[in-house]
A = this chain, B = another copy of it.
């Protein structure tokens, strides 16, 4: 029997990464093409398919058993991407159908946070867990909620929008058109906005006063905090406080064994984990106290998204 592999594809706003993943979560080969957000989906697939075929040809000894795709606004149930932000695609693109008709293997899709959660369960930090939440702290805040070993999709396929629970009524503008959503505070962008707020409200000197709003990144804020920059340190405290309080509420919903932080801002490790844990402990209901671990993902490499996408197929083949 040939070596079984799954093709994992991660469609991002800038790049689309794809690779072949075996049943143990080893990435055999991986590459990427620019997504090119000027193009429509037809032009995109016309570039993507030959690149995939070239990869498959070089690994003819492998047996492709399915394709898993992580994409913005992807719906697991319908196999479609609806109004993908940052892409110049049609309103509703039936990705699963398009890819299935080309490659003749089962295709499953979901959004990137859900794919990350599946990746963590099969190959990463959540291995062996049945109840956990993955929080991705990138440009926005995404979440993948796993209960009883199953990813939560909800009745419409879009469950797990923890980034859009309102934490500060009438708070900061959010990209969703409302105000005060968690992701406007707890994300790579959120902490940058907090720095901006502190630069105006506080008089403390800071390295960050030398940079424009557009120049500042969460990585720079982390590096400044390491050097005990007062503004950067306070920004992490505030971000952790707001995130921790929200996670205490998340625990009241699904009582997970662990909450796993993932993505750009999570690369700051203990600097974000410690203030978050403090607030989470403070606000968690008594009966849940000390039961839920707050962890930083061990899967922080660039290819995690491909691994997570492949998990959409592997979850049906790998016994827990």
Q: Would A285 and B131 count as touching, CB distance under 8 A?
A: no
Interface residues of A in 168-209 (CB under 8 A from B): 169, 176-178
A145: B residues at CB distance < 8 A: 253-254
Which of B130, B153, B249, B252 is the one whose CB lies under 8 Å from A148?
A: B153
Partner pick for A155 among B178, B248, B255, CB 8 A cutoff: B255
Copy number in the complex reads 2
Flag whether A273 is at the interface (Cβ < 8 A). no
User: A-side interface residues toward B, CB under 8 Å?
Assistant: 73, 129-131, 145, 147-148, 150, 152-162, 164-166, 169, 176-178, 245, 248-250, 252-257, 283, 285-288, 291
Report whether B248 and A166 are in contact in the complex, using a CB–CB cutoff of 8 Å.
yes
Contact (A176, B253) CB under 8 Å given A155-B130, A166-B245: no
Q: B253, A160: Cβ atoms under 8 Å?
A: yes
Partner of A288, one of B147, B158, B255: B158
- Is the beta-carbon distance between A147 and B154 smaller than 8 angstroms? yes
Q: Can you list 6 pairs linking A and B with CB atoms under 8 Å apart? A: A131-B155, A152-B253, A161-B253, A161-B288, A166-B248, A177-B286
In Å, the complex CA distance between A147 and B178 comes to: 27
List the B side residues contacting A249 at CB < 8 Å.
Answer: 165-166, 249
Check if B288 sits within 8 Å of A252, measured CB to CB.
Answer: no
Contacting pair A152 B254 (CB below 8 A): yes
Please tell me which one of the listed residues B131, B150, B159 contacts residue A254 in the complex, with CB atoms under 8 A apart.
B159
Is the pair A156, B254 in contact by a Cβ cutoff of 8 Å?
A: no
Residues of chain B within 8 A of A73, CB atoms compared: 287
Q: Nearest residue in B to A161 (C-beta to C-beta)?
A: B252
Known: A152-B147, A154-B256. A286 touches B250 (CB 8 A): no
In the complex the two chains form, what is the Cα distance from A288 to B157 in whole Å?
Answer: 10
User: How far, in angstroms, from A248 to B169 measured CA to CA in the complex?
Assistant: 13
Nearest neighbor of A174 in chain B, beta-carbon distance? B285
The answer on a CB contact under 8 Å between B166 and A253 is: no
B253 touches A162 (CB 8 A): yes
Q: How far is the CA of A15 from the CA of B158 in the complex (A)?
A: 42
Contacts of A164 in B (CB 8 A): 252, 285
Q: How far is the CB of A73 from chain B (nearest CB, A)?
A: 8
- Considering the complex, give the chain B residue whose CB is closest to the CB of A252: B161
